[in-house]
Amino acid sequence: MHSFADFAEELGLLDGDKIRIESVLNKELVVIGHAVRDSQFSKNKSGKYLTLQIEVDGERRVVFTGSDVLIEQLEKYAEMIPFQATIKKIDKFYTLS
């Protein structure tokens, strides 16, 4: 008989209390994990959303966003995680700096 653990793929769930992205704007934070998945709402160009696991003010948090800029940045620099960054809002989009 097979054991579920022998064939199941781990989802890689990101833990931490959910917070709004606006509450961490312009704050120094540490990016400790991320996941990009297809969105059922498709409000952005990519049709995806980002789950971003961060540490801010010494606490682990999770932020959800459909920001295509942040999605592209996290996909491009995923191998550099963990890293320090600041999320900034420029006009209508978010970016890491």
Give the CATH number of the domain where residue 32 resides.
2.40.50
Q: Which residues contact 10 (CB under 8 A, 6 or more apart)?
A: none
pTM exceeds 0.85 for this model:
no
In a domain, 2, yes or no: no
Residue 16 gets the label, from left (phi > 0), alpha (psi -120 to 50) or beta, of: left
- Examine residue 17 and state whether it is found in any structural domain, yes or no: yes
Q: Percent of the chain having pLDDT more than 70?
A: 89
Predicted local confidence at residue 86, as pLDDT: 97
Q: Which residues of the chain have pLDDT under 70?
A: 5-13, 42
How far apart, in whole angstroms, are the C-alpha atoms of residue 31 and residue 86?
Answer: 9
Reported as a single tens digit per residue, the pLDDT across 2-25 is 777 666 655 556 788 899 999 999
Q: C-alpha distances in angstroms, 88 versus 7, 19, 39, 94, 95?
A: 41, 16, 23, 6, 5
- Is there a domain that residue 86 lies in? yes
Is residue 6 in some structural domain? no
Residue in 1, 6, 3, 52 with CA at minimum distance from that of residue 29: 52
Range of the domain at 69: 11-96
The total domain count for the chain is: 1
